[in-house]
């Protein structure tokens, strides 16, 4: 695998995005319908302002239900989807790379952190997303194993 390959060669550009003001219901629908694990969060101008992972989304649901049950309430599984906005639970401090950064750089970021996606930006505008899955696909394709 050529580690000097730019991320533009492997990044996903056909992204499903959400806004901070969207309710978690929007994220629930996106995760369920598209079999994805990361939702970039952008403002009205397309500027990246955060990311919501499926793990974070599920963790919020577990915490919400536990909190409500401790208060003696019985809560439907998706009740909180209608009450909480994505902006309240998204990760705001996001590591970003550019399309010209290399696979080697992305691999280093993944190795040093516990997340599995990196937004690709140009002048703070979201242009793509690279995931550990993208790296695996590239490695297998490069080695004729796809």
The residue ranges of every structural domain in the chain are 7-142
Q: Among 3.40.50.300, 1.10.940.10, 3.10.580.10, 3.40.50.920, what is the CATH number of 7-142?
A: 3.10.580.10
Least confident segment among 43-57, 64-78, 96-110: 64-78
- What SS3 class is residue 142? helix
pLDDT at 76: 60
- pTM score of the predicted model: 0.84
Asked whether the beta carbons of 52 and 75 are under 8 A apart, the reply is no
Residues 6+ apart with CB under 8 A from 146: 137, 140
Q: How far apart are CA 121 and CA 48, in angstroms?
A: 8
Residue 79: per-residue pLDDT:
67
- Euclidean distance between CA atoms 118 and 51, whole angstroms: 9
Cα 108 to Cα 5: distance, rounded to the nearest angstrom:
14
* The pLDDT value given to residue 59: 82
pLDDT of 68 over the 70 cut: no
What confidence tens digit (pLDDT) does each residue in 107-124 have? 999 999 988 999 999 998
d(CA 88, CA 78): 16
For residues 38 and 50, the answer to whether their CB atoms sit within 8 Å is no
Query: What's the pLDDT score for residue 65?
Result: 55
């Amino acid at each position: 695998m050529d580690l000097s390959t730019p991320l533009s060669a492997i990044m996903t550009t056909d992204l499903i995005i959400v806004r901070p003001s969207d309710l978690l219901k929007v994220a629930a629908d996106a995760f369920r319908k598209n079999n994805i694990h990361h939702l970039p969060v952008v403002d009205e101008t397309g500027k990246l302002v955060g990311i919501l992972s499926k793990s974070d989304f599920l963790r919020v649901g577990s915490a919400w239900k536990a909190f409500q049950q401790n208060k003696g309430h019985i809560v439907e599984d998706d009740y909180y989807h209608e009450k909480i906005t994505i902006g309240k639970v998204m990760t705001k401090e996001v590591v970003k790379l550019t399309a010209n950064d290399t696979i080697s750089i992305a691999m280093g970021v993944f190795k040093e952190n516990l997340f599995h996606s990196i937004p690709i930006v140009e002048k703070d505008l979201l242009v793509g997303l690279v995931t550990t899955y993208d790296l695996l696909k590239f490695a297998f394709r490069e080695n004729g194993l796809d």
